[in-house]
Amino acid sequence: MSAPNLVPPQSSALLASQEQQSFGTYFSAAIKRIRGGDIGSLPIILGFVMIAIIFQSQNSNFLTPRNIVQLILQMAGIAAIAYGVVFVLLLGEIDLSAGYVSAVAGVSVAVLLRPPYELPWFIAMAIAFAAMLAIGALHGWITTYFRLPSFVVTLAGSLAWSGVVLGIVGRGGTVIIGDPIVRGLSLSFFPPLVGWIICIVLIALFAFTQLRTYSTRRANGLATKPIGFIAIETGILSIMAIGIVYICNQDRGLPFIGVLLLALLIVLSYIAGQTRLGRYIYAIGGNKEAARRAGVRVEAIRIIVFMISSVMAGVGGIILASRLGSVSAEAGGGDLLLNSIAAAVIGGTSLFGGRGLVSSAILGALIIASIDNGLGLIPGFPSSIKFIITGLVLLAAVIIDSISRRSQQRSGLR
């Protein structure tokens, strides 16, 4: 005789969300999600493994501690700008000015540190970030007030801000950064012990938030992730964190910039995932009219998002200036903007709004920087091919996204 089914059939569906899921059912549901096309960041991780294998086979220097630290420094500028781009894309808009706006921040700091101003570094940065807030607010306000598409407004902005940079620096000129603190942003490394402490704090923070969610959901009688799953996730994160700190400690140590990127990731992910502001950004990206009718102040949110975008561009610009030690008239140009947008998209943020995570910025930036870095290690490799390969990776990312979305629709997951 089989076990009696005590739950009446019509109520079992909703009760299912309240009962404790066993490890097995949770795991098979996860597999089902992946097979249904909800692949998350799986392709990026596989892509990175593939890139690592290819470049390591071409040049054994690719996976050395020195080069991995280099990779973190190399991706930092793009990743920071891409953080902001993710927010704009989530809203269903785009910011084409991020490249030159980042240069405005870089050049402002560089000039304000030099004679005749010679301001302390924190005041120079404060002025630069105030300018970033104003620029973002201006883009958002023009888009909203005149009901213009954001790509036109930010394209105009891009041209105008490139002119501002050129005006400040002068054609063919360069502003050198001598300030040790601003330079030190990208030249500072934590001693091994501090690296380990950061690593432990990070793992503890992750485990704590997971367990807090677990216990509050449990207390409210809601379905929870099986505790074993939380343990495995924490384990994987620990291995990765310990691995990275160990590798960095073999070289110069954990880069300050890397920790800054991580801190920004945590803060921005919290805003996107846990606050009303974040919820409204996703809602507007998904269905602007539904958000409006639910009482969301769509215009205000749009202006805030453009401000976030410009501020993050500013962070990226200052990181890039710090790395180079100078700002030239060409700063912010070239492939910087496109790489930043590509990073967000390669990482899995949709160009059509409402879907994506802040972490996609850092994953995408890692892919782009590792292609750049890896091809640079192959002697005599033409940079023309580098652009073509980056372009193909972007195309592949968008295609994977499109296919996974289609199979999600088929399997009824999305």
Partner 1 sequence: MAAEPLLQCIKVTKRFGAIQALTEVDFDVRAGEVVALVGDNGAGKSTLIKGIAGIYNFDEGEVRFDGKKVSIGSPREASQLGIEVVYQDLALADNLDVVANMFLGREKVNSSLPFARMDEASMEQKAVETLASLSVTTLRSVRLPVASLSGGQRQSIAVAKAVMWNSKLVILDEPTAALGVAQTRQVLDLVRRLADRGLAVALISHNLHDIFEVADRIAVLRLGHMIGIFERASTNQQEIVHAITAGRLKVVPGMAEAEVS
Binding site for partner 1 (CB under 8 A): 10-14, 16-18, 216-217, 219-223, 270-271, 274-277, 279, 282-283, 285-287, 289-291, 293-296, 354-355, 408, 412-414
Q: How far is the CB of 392 from partner 1 (least distance, A)?
A: 28
Q: How far is the CB of 348 from partner 1 (least distance, A)?
A: 14
Question: Is the CB of 39 or the CB of 101 nearer to partner 1?
Answer: 39
Query: What's the CA gap between 199 and 244, in Å, rounded?
Result: 9
Q: Decide if 77 contacts 319 (C-beta within 8 A).
A: yes
Lookup result for tokens 């012990």: 193
Query: What's the CA gap between 332 and 99, in Å, rounded?
Result: 5
Q: How far is the CB of 275 from partner 1 (least distance, A)?
A: 5
Question: Is the CB of 147 or the CB of 293 nearer to partner 1?
Answer: 293
Q: How far is the CB of 223 from partner 1 (least distance, A)?
A: 8
Question: Is the CB of 19 or the CB of 335 nearer to partner 1?
Answer: 19
Q: How far is the CB of 408 from partner 1 (least distance, A)?
A: 8
Question: Is the CB of 167 or the CB of 273 nearer to partner 1?
Answer: 273
Q: Decide if 75 contacts 365 (C-beta within 8 A).
A: yes
**Of 401, 375, 396, whose CA–CA distance to 386 is shortest?**
375
**Of 412, 304, 390, 312, whose CA–CA distance to 346 is shortest?**
390
Question: Is the CB of 2 or the CB of 289 nearer to partner 1?
Answer: 289
Question: Is the CB of 48 or the CB of 214 nearer to partner 1?
Answer: 214
Query: What's the CA gap between 252 and 70, in Å, rounded?
Result: 10
Q: How far is the CB of 311 from partner 1 (least distance, A)?
A: 15
**DSSP class of residue 326?**
E
CA 303 to chain centre: 20
Q: Which residues contact 241 (CB under 8 A, 6 or more apart)?
A: 199, 202, 203
Please report the sign of the dihedral spanned by the C-alpha atoms of residue 297, residue 303, residue 306, residue 310: negative
Cα end-to-end span (Å), the chain: 39
**DSSP class of residue 373?**
H
Q: How far is the CB of 103 from partner 1 (least distance, A)?
A: 29
**Of 219, 213, 265, 218, whose CA–CA distance to 234 is shortest?**
213
Question: Is the CB of 294 or the CB of 385 nearer to partner 1?
Answer: 294
Q: How far is the CB of 188 from partner 1 (least distance, A)?
A: 28
Question: Is the CB of 35 or the CB of 276 nearer to partner 1?
Answer: 276
Question: Is the CB of 285 or the CB of 347 nearer to partner 1?
Answer: 285
Question: Is the CB of 339 or the CB of 350 nearer to partner 1?
Answer: 350
What is the full DSSP assignment across 257-321?
HHHHHHHHHHHHHHHHHHSHHHHHHHHHHH-HHHHHHTT--HHHHHHHHHHHHHHHHHHHHHHHH
Question: Is the CB of 302 or the CB of 355 nearer to partner 1?
Answer: 355
What is the full DSSP assignment across 133-159?
HHHHHHHHHHHHHTT--HHHHHHHHHH
Q: How far is the CB of 261 from partner 1 (least distance, A)?
A: 20
Q: How far is the CB of 279 from partner 1 (least distance, A)?
A: 6
Query: What's the CA gap between 62 and 53, in Å, rounded?
Result: 9
Query: What's the CA gap between 345 and 83, in Å, rounded?
Result: 11
Kindly state the helix (H) or strand (E) to which residue 71 belongs, with its residue range: helix 65-90
Query: What's the CA gap between 239 and 199, in Å, rounded?
Result: 10
**DSSP class of residue 177?**
-
Q: How far is the CB of 287 from partner 1 (least distance, A)?
A: 4
